[in-house]
Structure 1
């Protein structure tokens, strides 16, 4: 299932992770693990934020995916999402 993960990082913890070099390492390892189709980084609500769109095969994957972000004091949201092709397929099924 395609999901979007958005994490807003705790500023103080993320600042320390930038200084000691762990923030880029965590983001790189996360990208290698989940192989996102898209990844975005920027501010959200005054905090550092990362957004990943990826395919999650099973819900038991969530703890392993989220734990490195929790170590950064992140507030995490994971939502099922669709692209335009998925939406067309889903709406076609509604009409059937």
Structure 2
């Protein structure tokens, strides 16, 4: 299922990771875990934020996907099912 992950990283926790020179590795590990079709990074709500759209093959992948964000970055995380416009059209046409 296509999912959108939005994570707002805690400023203090992410500053510590940055100071250790490990922020790039953290982001690369997140990208490797999710293999997103789209990834965006920027400030939101006063902190570092990432938004990824990726395929979640099985709900059992949720802990592996989110735990590093929660533990290392103390992130506020949202994980939402999303669809493309083509998916929406297909769903709407089935409701006739």
In the superposition, the TM-score normalised over structure 1's length comes to 0.95
In structure 1, the partner of 2:83 is 82
| Structure 1: runs of 5+ lacking an equivalent | none
Q: Does 1:44 align with 2:44?
A: yes
CA RMSD of aligned residues (A): 0.8
Deviation at 1:24? 1.2
Q: Structure 2: which 5+ runs fail to align?
A: none
Q: Deviation per CA, 1:20-73, whole angstroms, max 9, x where unpaired?
A: 122211110111121100000001110100011000011110000001101211
Are 2:57 and 1:19 aligned? no
Answering whether residue 74 of structure 2 is matched by residue 91 of structure 1, we say no
Correspondence 1:52-91 to 2 at 5 A: 52-70=52-70, 71-91=72-92
Question: Segments of 4+ in structure 1 off by > 6 A?
Answer: none
- How far has the Cα of 1:7 moved from its partner? 0.3
Separation (CA, whole Å) in 2 of partners of 1:61 and 1:36: 14
